């Protein structure tokens, strides 16, 4: 029976991991070590604008390399006037209150994701052409029954009318009774008077700022809370633990294969 159960979860995990990797315009892992982007685990957070293209952190690397080359090839002439130090971008704590509009946005987002409502997702994005197809959404949610207990944590962004959103949710997987805690990350901008999920390309400075917020004390505290809830959930539900362990094992195998190919 145990062997059959493992085969069952292996099959689900293979399909889920290969086809439900959180796709985003900028899917950079929250945790730099042991980073995994499988939906339904709280082992790390993922930045999710789950609406566009396959994960491609190479675009960020290429941007950084291009910027480095440009800086190296442009050597400023000596000057007697000191060059002013750039003003650092401000760092904010979590907002004490979350606008009801933003709360509704993420409720709508996860509902549309689960029901594979592409038109609704398009209406929530800054770049509608980056929305996934129905088939892509179906493959990503095939083994997800529901998203529940959604709660949003906001930080002001580096520009006016922008927020970085950390969205806690509990995921009900098919065949698993206990909910799995998860934490996703989004960048919000106000467009035509309404907040929308940013689905375009970030410039280098914004990427660095967006990524650096994962090291903020309040974000780390939120991640620790999510991880703790995950450990408690696994401890009381063997099916969830088997599911989770299968994700860990498969992720490590994929990372090992990727390292060997490189």
Rounded alpha-carbon distances, angstroms, from residue 253 to 37, 243, 248: 14, 16, 9
Q: State the fold for domain 22-52+90-261.
A: Nuclear Transport Factor 2; Chain: A, (3.10.450)
* Per-residue pLDDT tens digits for 187-213: 999 999 999 999 999 999 999 999 999
Residue 72 has pLDDT above 50, yes or no: no
- The DSSP secondary structure of 179-242, one letter per residue, reads -EEEEEEEEEEEETTEEEE--SPPPHHHHHHHHHGGGSHHHHHHHHHHHHHHHHHHHH-HHHHH
Show the tokens assigned to 218: 């309040």
Per domain, the residue ranges of the chain are 22-52+90-261
State pTM to two decimals.
0.69
User: pLDDT-based confidence at 225, cuts 50/70/90?
Assistant: very high
* Per-residue pLDDT tens digits for 124-179: 999 999 999 999 999 888 889 999 999 999 999 999 999 999 999 999 998 999 99
């Amino acid at each position: 029976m145990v062997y059959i159960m493992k085969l069952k979860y292996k099959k689900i995990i293979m399909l889920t991991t290969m086809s439900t990797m959180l796709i985003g315009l900028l899917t950079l892992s929250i945790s730099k070590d042991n980073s995994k982007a499988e939906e339904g685990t709280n082992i790390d957070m993922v930045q999710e604008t789950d609406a566009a293209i396959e994960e491609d952190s190479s675009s960020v690397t290429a941007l950084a390399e291009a910027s480095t080359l440009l800086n190296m090839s442009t050597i400023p002439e000596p000057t007697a006037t000191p060059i002013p130090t750039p003003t650092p971008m401000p760092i904010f704590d979590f907002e004490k209150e979350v606008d009801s509009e933003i709360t509704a946005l993420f409720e709508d987002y996860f509902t549309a994701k689960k029901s594979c409502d592409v038109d609704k997702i398009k209406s929530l994005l800054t770049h509608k052409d980056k929305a996934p197809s129905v088939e892509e959404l179906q493959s990503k949610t095939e083994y997800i029954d529901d998203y529940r207990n959604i709660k949003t944590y906001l930080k002001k962004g580096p520009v006016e009318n922008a927020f970085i959103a950390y969205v806690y949710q509990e995921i009900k997987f098919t065949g698993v009774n206990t909910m799995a805690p998860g934490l996703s990350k989004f960048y919000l901008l106000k467009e035509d008077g309404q907040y929308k999920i940013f689905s375009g390309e970030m410039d280098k400075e914004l990427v660095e700022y967006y990524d650096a917020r994962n090291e903020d004390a309040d974000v780390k505290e939120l991640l620790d809370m999510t991880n703790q809830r995950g450990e408690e959930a696994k401890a009381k539900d063997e099916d969830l633990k088997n599911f989770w362990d299968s994700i860990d094992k498969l992720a490590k195998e994929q990372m090992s294969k990727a390292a060997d190919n490189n």
